[in-house]
Amino acid sequence: MPPPVAAEVTRRKEQRAAAPAARQRAARDHTAGMITALGFDADDTLWHNETIFEEYHRRFQALLARYHDPQTVERALFATEMRNLELFGYGVKSFTLSAIETAIELTQGSIPADELRALLQMGKTMLAHPVELLDGVAETVAALAIQYPLFVITKGDLHHQERKFNRSGLAPHFAEIEIVSEKDARTYARILQHHGLTPGGFLMVGNSLRSDILPVIEIGGHAAHVPYPITWEAEQAAPPPAECGRFHALHHIRELPALVARLNGAGAR
């Protein structure tokens, strides 16, 4: 059985030698229906990701340019990815396999081995790419971690996401990282239950409306959308209805501490 969240909160806070006032506040908030814990998406919320994929797409199109135009290549690659999703799941390794499969299909099997090797190498380069935090992330996460237990909830390759998390420098601020195969309502409900959290006291932060916002709103949680300049086609979705009151559209992650303070200030009255 996991430790109750209050015990975990206390342990983490003691580790950081947080002020006694913060501990008292956390205990009070737990009963007052306020935000008591935050979840963060990782890719394109904490660190850059889609820009790295975009670079691969450009190089993939260039490699196949003598066979097909970029639009055809792009369409075929996306179709292969979607077809393989159930078997491969998300992440760079799955993407690399789909790129190789697409290249074989689009060249009707005539692509030379050295070009397939180039595709594999591009995948390895993506996996080894240094973690680049988004602007404002380090300060915002550090500030919120003093008051709240923070969780990373991400999908993708287990090994790759763990590696990025450990290299990000953010790990000491987080109570836990949850790497899951799909971010749907059931997954979020399971994670919250596992950590003894209630949806009404939980705020999820992320760039994907489909994965980070809609399922959390569905189970009764709060969700803050911080858009990234590029959104993968498979992650696009319409925002939830404004009247639900638990959806918060932000422009920048730096706005997050003020949002949490406002939500909890309103709850205290």
> Does residue 81 touch Mg ion according to CB under 5 A?
no
> Does residue 29 touch Mg ion according to CB under 5 A?
no
Q: Which is nearer to Mg ion, 102 or 208 (CB)?
A: 208
Supply the minimum distance, in Å, between the C-beta of residue 155 and Mg ion.
9
> Does residue 178 touch Mg ion according to CB under 5 A?
no
Q: Is 169 left (phi over 0), alpha (psi -120 to 50) or beta?
A: left
- Contact segment (CB under 5 A) with Mg ion among 158-166, 179-187, 203-211, 236-244 equals 203-211
- Count of residues that bind Mg ion according to CB under 5 A: 5
Q: Which two tokens stand for residue 83?
A: 């077809």
Residue from 5, 34, 38, 43 touching Mg ion (CB under 5 A): that is 43
Supply the minimum distance, in Å, between the C-beta of residue 25 and Mg ion.
30
> Does residue 44 touch Mg ion according to CB under 5 A?
yes
Rounded Cα–Cα distance for residues 70 and 59 (Å): 10
- Contact segment (CB under 5 A) with Mg ion among 19-27, 37-45, 105-113, 245-253 equals 37-45
Q: Which is nearer to Mg ion, 29 or 44 (CB)?
A: 44
The runs of H, that is alpha helices, within 146-221 are 158-167, 185-194, 214-218
> Does residue 207 touch Mg ion according to CB under 5 A?
yes
- Contact segment (CB under 5 A) with Mg ion among 41-49, 81-89, 145-153, 261-269 equals 41-49
Give yes or no for a contact between 226 and 203, defined as CB atoms under 8 angstroms apart. Answer: no
Supply the minimum distance, in Å, between the C-beta of residue 232 and Mg ion.
9
Helix 256-268 × helix 20-32 angle, to 10° = 60
Q: Which two tokens stand for residue 183?
A: 């971010």
Nearest one of 91, 112, 94 to 103, comparing CA atoms:
112
Q: Which is nearer to Mg ion, 60 or 228 (CB)?
A: 228
Supply the minimum distance, in Å, between the C-beta of residue 43 and Mg ion.
4
Helix 137-145 × helix 256-268 angle, to 10° = 30
- Burial call 141-163: b when 16+ CB within 10 Å, e when fewer: beebbebbbbbbbbbbbeebbee
Give yes or no for a contact between 59 and 122, defined as CB atoms under 8 angstroms apart. Answer: yes
Supply the minimum distance, in Å, between the C-beta of residue 154 and Mg ion.
7
Supply the minimum distance, in Å, between the C-beta of residue 44 and Mg ion.
4
Name the residues that contact Mg ion, by CB under 5 A: 41, 43-44, 207-208
